[in-house]
Amino acid sequence: MPVSYKHIAPFFSAGQNRVSRWFSYIGLGVGVLLLLCSIQMYININHLLKDRNPKTDGFDYISVTKIITNENMAEDHSFSEAEIKELKGQSFISDATPLMANKFLVKATGGSALPFTTDLFLESIDNSFIDTIPADFTWREGQDVLPVIMASDYLELYNTVFAPSKDLPQFSAKSISAVMVQIECYAANGEVYIFKGHVVGLSDRINSVLVPPNFLDWANKKFGNSKKLNPARIFIKTKDANSPELLSFLQQKNYSINKDKSKFGRIKQVLQAIVSGLSGFGILVILLAMMLFSFYLQLMIARSKDNLQLLLTLGYSPKWLSRTVAKRWVPVYTIIVLSALAATMLFQYYFQHFAMKGREELSMIIHWSVAVVAMLLLALSILINYKMVSKLVHKL
């Protein structure tokens, strides 16, 4: 019969210190449970708050501006070349392009069919950022028809607010293209240039009145009185508008974005911070439990010191002794970690089933990474325990 722990068990006096031993077991269980639940919640949050915005090509397009506050109202809020370059350089931003605006006075009138006049603004952006580009969204110098892409929201506002109040006709998305609006550009010297504005498309993505970039370049040079041509709005293209990295970068730079697009990101940021804090707390509890257990081990080995020394004198190997003593706790650690894992599974089931009312994007079973972390924690506990015992035995 090979020698085993059973043969040396009577030589350990372990009994007196039950309280600290049980406290360390409970501490370890609670710590592991906290950590596993936090990881699972982190994954849940990611699943629940992902893809809340419709994406046409897998990207979110968001307009970025500088935050205007009471203190900085008087400052320039346009983006410099370097700032645009910096935006482009971020790993979480796939592309960035400025929205150029008109630097001269523009007015729109409807002519006899649509008796209204309004001040207007024009913007242009790189075509790749526009969701729908009609073939006729082009302009050449000398051309008096100016193609315009208008935000669909504006058409809605016109139809629901502007047209009824002025007794003007309403237009569908299709019929708007038939309407020609007169666009008057006022040069610095008072000269007026008139173009025939033609709505060639509607955009869900960009809230603006867009004209071809080459037109705006030309017009700003021809009619503009300002040398400053830096854009005040930048459009960015990103894989995830809710990415915490993007949000914290923008926050840090004092840039503002469409809150609707990123509100889940902000919630996610806060929730993830809470959950990360909870994991940190879990790790702390595990460390405290291990420390308590190490005190218990030290006390146990100190109490059995004479016996252990005699066992070594009689020919027991320190390595065998450490391994055999440490092995005694393998089933204990296994039970603790597996119980915590089972509790996490139960928690996930109840969370999905009751708290989240069975939402499909959430799984009823835990994520595989949680099980992997549990196994790693088990291996780590066993290893640390062995190292602690071995150190104490070799010190004898």
Partner 1 sequence: MAVFLIATYEYHLTKNIALFFNQEQQTISDVWKQDVIFNKAEQVHIVAPSGSGKTSLIHFLYGLRKDYEGSILYNNNNIKDFDAEKFAQWRQQHISIVFQDLRLFTEQTVLQNLEVKRVLAPYHTESKITDMAKRLGIESKLGKLCKTCSYGEQQRIAIIRSLLQPFDFLLLDEPFSHLDEANRMKAMELMNEEAAARNASIILADLKQIDYFKADRVLVV
Q: Which residues bind partner 1 (CB under 8 A)?
A: 1-3, 7-8, 10-11, 307, 310-320, 394
As a whole number of angstroms, the distance between CA 301 and CA 236 comes to 63
Which of residues 11 and 22 has its CB atom nearest to partner 1 in the complex? 11
Helices (H), the chain: 5-8, 18-48, 81-89, 152-157, 163-166, 213-223, 244-253, 259-303, 305-314, 318-327, 330-350, 368-395
Least CB distance to partner 1 at residue 93 (A)? 59
Q: How many residues appear in the chain?
A: 396
Least CB distance to partner 1 at residue 7 (A)? 5
Least CB distance to partner 1 at residue 17 (A)? 17
Least CB distance to partner 1 at residue 312 (A)? 7
User: Which residues, other chains included, contact 208 with Cβ-Cβ below 8 Å and sequence gap of 6+?
Assistant: 99, 121, 123, 125, 151
Least CB distance to partner 1 at residue 318 (A)? 5
Beta bridge partners of 60: 238
CA-based nearest residue to 99, from 73, 68, 132, 64? 64
Which of residues 121 and 320 has its CB atom nearest to partner 1 in the complex? 320
Which of residues 135 and 314 has its CB atom nearest to partner 1 in the complex? 314
Least CB distance to partner 1 at residue 320 (A)? 8
Which of residues 173 and 310 has its CB atom nearest to partner 1 in the complex? 310
Least CB distance to partner 1 at residue 379 (A)? 25
As a whole number of angstroms, the distance between CA 181 and CA 201 comes to 14
CA distances from 56 to 61, 92, 126, 221, 257 (A): 10, 18, 17, 35, 19
Which of residues 178 and 314 has its CB atom nearest to partner 1 in the complex? 314
Which of residues 8 and 28 has its CB atom nearest to partner 1 in the complex? 8
Exposed (0-12), middle (13-18) or buried (19+): which is 87, by Cβ within 10 Å?
buried
Least CB distance to partner 1 at residue 19 (A)? 23
Least CB distance to partner 1 at residue 389 (A)? 15
Which of residues 82 and 314 has its CB atom nearest to partner 1 in the complex? 314
CA-based nearest residue to 359, from 36, 54, 50? 50
Least CB distance to partner 1 at residue 324 (A)? 12
- According to DSSP, residue 332 is labeled H
Buried b (16+ CB within 10 A) or exposed e, 48-83: bbeebbeeeeebbbbbbbbeeeeeeeeeeebbeeeb
Which of residues 238 and 304 has its CB atom nearest to partner 1 in the complex? 304
As a whole number of angstroms, the distance between CA 358 and CA 165 comes to 47
Q: What does the CA dihedral 247, 252, 256, 261 come to, rounded to 10 degrees?
A: 0
Helix/strand/coil for 214 = helix
Which of residues 37 and 326 has its CB atom nearest to partner 1 in the complex? 326
Which of residues 50 and 394 has its CB atom nearest to partner 1 in the complex? 394
As a whole number of angstroms, the distance between CA 293 and CA 286 comes to 10
Q: Which two tokens stand for residue 152?
A: 């669909």
